[in-house]
A and B are shown apart, each in its own frame.
Chain A
Amino acid sequence: MKTPPCLADRLLTWLCAPHLREEVLGDLHERYVLRVQRWGETKARQRYWLDVLAYVRLSIIRRQPEEFPFRHAGSLFFLSPDMLRNYVKIALRNLLKNKSFNAINILGLTLGISCCLFILLWVLDEERVDKFHANEKTLYSLYQTITANGKVSGNYSTPVRYKDGPVFLVGNMKAAIPDIKYQAFYATGYELPWGHPETFQTGEKKFKLEGSRASSDFFRMFSYPILVGNAATALNDISSLAISRKMADLFFGSPQKAIGKSLRYENKLDFVVTAVFENLPAQNSLKFDFLINWEAQQKKLEWASNDFRTYVQLADNADVTTVETKINRFLQPQLDKNDRSIRIGLQRYGDQYLHGHFVNGKPEDGRIEYVRLFSGVAIFLLLIACVNFMNLATARSVKRAKEIGVRKVVGSSRLDLIGQFLGESLLLSFVAIVLSLLLMQLLLPAFNQFTGKQIESPVTQASFWGYATGLMVFTGLLSGSYPALFLSSLKPVRILKGVIQFTRSAVWFQQGLTVFQFVLSITLLVATLVISRQTSYVRNAHLGYDRENLLYIRIEGALMSKNNYLFFKDQLSKMPGIAMVDRSSEAPHSMGFVIDGEEGRKEDAISWEGKEKGQSVAFHPTSVGLDFVKLMNLKLAEGRDFSRANATDSTDAFLVNEEAVKQMGLKNPIGKWVSAWQKKGHIIGILKDYHTNSFHEPIKPLIVDVKEYEYFGVILVRTVAGQTREALASLESVYKELNPNYPFSYQFLDQEYEQLYRSEQVLAKLSNVFAALAIVISCLGLLGLIMFSIEQRTKEIGIRKVLGSSERQIVTLLSGNFFRLILIAFFIASPLAWFAMNRWLQGFAYRITVSWWIFALAGVSVVAITLLTISYQAIRAALMNPVTSLRSE
């Protein structure tokens, strides 16, 4: 039998609504057959075409509104409202049914996400530092790359030549290079080695404040809001001074009243307040409460340090590398001809906060390393939490396998199931993020205190919500991914028959995740132990001198005159609570001044008997009073201390430390001559090495001479133990009487010493928190797993008990596997942690060794914590009466 024209059929199939296709085509074919019998094939075919065309009408073509409209849309079926309702219902039922598991999941995710949120806030805040300036895109910091003796170093300072103080070689480059729109110098007044808070006075009011000096373009370039005064001219005049709102309030009561008033600086210079700027924002790296005109600093004041910064603002369309080349071309002819070469580079001003450490003479690392480190830790914590979710969901899939089987049988596609499970994990991560946001809101003040930042609650920022949503989706998808893929791959026939068996790879994966969690936990634990050991080591190590009951005050004001100083010392020594008083040119715990032969400019500052030509040793030089060694309780290795009995000691005697002897290459050093600047004398004794700086730096050669009086430096006061209060009272009364124009301030040496390790202390605190969090989250996961495993094996345990197994055997059976996993994790984590912590310790010249017992301790504590976590569950299971467990069906 001939068939009707297939082309016509095809056309009709395409045209006709699916639900009508059968009858329409059937009709046509039947009639075709009739017609072939009646008229023959040719005519029948012609009529067939006509008949087909007769079906071209709306009622045939229009598709039926389907009862299940998404049925034919393939993977989108699971988006239909009914299915969605069903998913939500099932998800909620599951949530409620397994409260403990879901609580574990949500708690873990909440901890992970909260941690992420906090670190996100911190990172965002760090990234925002210095970015608020209107001209931020064209602001650049100058840095120099110095090559000397084959060594490359770099810093932010500006090349200078010394001639009655520093002469700035790039001083007028703005005139020579048109691409530079503005140029400003900046230097602080409080940085080491000679910086300090400076005293201002008006009438009876006197305060110490930390401030800086800047040249006149400064306020034109940087957008620090000026409250009163003119930004363009604020620092033009030699007597001009710009002060912060805080300082204006302190001295004058309000910014408006401050303008045009005069302030006395260090009781020797008068400045006129020309501008009041708003208190500096938190996200700002330059810190100052006042700015002194640059010219005044150059002509009338002493520099606090050799760190002179230069900032430039380029023209909008200027090319940075071209400007760099031009600056270098401008600079090179002015440099001295020696083996040091200096090249200038430009760094975006906004980048210097995070990338402020020099590697090979270029600014690269810096705080960004902390940003990276913490971001990494945050991601790891989140990963651990996600792993919990994956592990529990996979393990518990046995319980849900039936549901999956039924869903598959009634036509759920794999994609539908994946969608369902991802949706469920998204729901959980949604709950977790809501909790985290609440937690964040609650803990933000504590967090700010902890990090020393002023982060405001970000709930009003759209971008933050973007991040939060991103975090939620990421967490949801990540934690849901494996369960979704695994569960949806199960074969319905096997599930419904009741045989569910994890494939080898699924078991591997699940155990791998647990191992991964514990690798992270153990690594963090080791890190915490090492960091806290190292910080306690640097805080408690004997420094070679006695830092207890020791305080110092700056020599300033009236104390700068010899008679006053001697009178002060004399008076104070007799007062109650004071054991000894002497002076030193620098605070002894952190000596900033280094005479470095390599720097070339003071080549022959220090010389000694038998010094070879070209030999250069970097010295910490210091001038002290005769009692310094006794006061500091320093030990001598050889020779003798300074003594009043020897009249020549104040002019001829030098002490050096052992390191100096070693580096100078002296044999029998006692009695050899040394010279420091113009002073020539002999070595009378060798001091045992003591720490003149933080433990980050190795002990440098030290050379000490006697100057009973100097107009700078610090006065060291040893107080009698237990009488600190009396000592302070004595100190204050003598000080006030002698130096009335300066506010009385003092520093305890031990406290200042600890300040040197501020960032380590923060790190130690943070690593404690992180390690605790990591362990808590991992243990939550473990708790979930053991609970599940017990649930699964209730019958097995019952049967074992009936057949005579002891409780101990059952506990071992239940927990043995977990300990195996932790053991594996331990062996993976140990080398990792060892490597990481050794790298961290490289930053210290004096450090603890990472010995085996730290790892042992970490391992044992993790095992102990694990034991605590799972033993309760395991023992409870083991103690269960087999009758109950076997009867339960």
Chain B
Amino acid sequence: MRRSDLGEFEEVVLLAVAALSPKAYSVVIAEELEQETGNSVSTGAVHAALQRLEQKGYLTSQLGEATAERGGRRKRLFTVTALGGRVLQEVRAVRNRLWDRILPNIRLEWS
């Protein structure tokens, strides 16, 4: 698995989908990320990322129910595939390993 397959934003979005599952769709993901990061996140960006992830096979989607706020339009609900899950874990493992190698005194300096 090459690292370049997963951009930073994509990773966050993928994680958000996993966290919000089974009710993950672009609006809630964008809202969640805005809250979590404090930066404004457009649904357009999220939507594009979701498309890419789906294309890569990390996500699947199906159409969900329609609501009044959406003007009667259906939403597209995303779930993480097994492949997506494995990728997430791998990324996390890489990071954990790296974290673990950081010397404790350097960490102290940051905090």
Contacts and interface: CB of A to CB of B under 8 A. Distances in A.
A27 B48 contact: no
A69 interface: no
B69 A33 contact: yes
A669 to B, nearest CB: 115
B48 A60 contact: yes
B52 A28 contact: no
A56 B45 CA distance: 10
B75 interface: yes
B16 interface: no
A11 interface: no
Contacts of A33: 69
Nearest to A26: B73
From DSSP, what is the main secondary structure of chain B's interface residues? mixed
A51 B27 CA distance: 11
Interface in A52-75: 52-57, 59-60
A24 interface: yes
A880 interface: no
Contact of A57 (B44, B66, B67): B44
A25 B63 CA distance: 14
A388 to B, nearest CB: 55
A54 B43 contact: yes
A22 B42 contact: no
Contact of A60 (B31, B44, B73): B44
B96 to A, nearest CB: 32
A367 interface: no
B24 interface: no
B51 A59 contact: yes
A215 B37 CA distance: 110
A34 B26 CA distance: 13
Contacts of A31: 27, 30-31, 43
Nearest to A21: B73
A114 B27 CA distance: 72
Given A22-B74, A57-B48, A60-B48, A29 B43 contact: no
Contacts, number: 68
B75 A26 contact: yes
Nearest to B46: A27
Contact of B69 (A29, A47, A50, A59): A29
Interface residues of A, number: 23
Contacts of B52: 59
* Chain A binding surface, main DSSP class: helix
Nearest to B55: A59
B70 interface: yes
Interface string B23-39: 00111001100000000
Interface string A30-47: 110110000000000001
A23 interface: yes
Contacts of A53: 44
A25 B73 contact: yes
Interface in B39-94: 40, 42-45, 47-48, 51-52, 63, 66-67, 69-71, 73-76
B43 A51 contact: yes
A48 to B, nearest CB: 10
Contacts of A57: 44, 48
B74 A23 contact: yes
Nearest to B31: A34
Given A27-B47, A34-B31, 13 more contacts: A22-B73, A23-B47, A23-B74, A25-B71, A26-B71, A27-B27, A28-B43, A34-B69, A47-B40, A51-B42, A55-B47, A57-B48, A59-B48
9 contacts: A23-B47, A23-B63, A24-B47, A27-B26, A27-B70, A28-B43, A51-B42, A51-B43, A54-B43
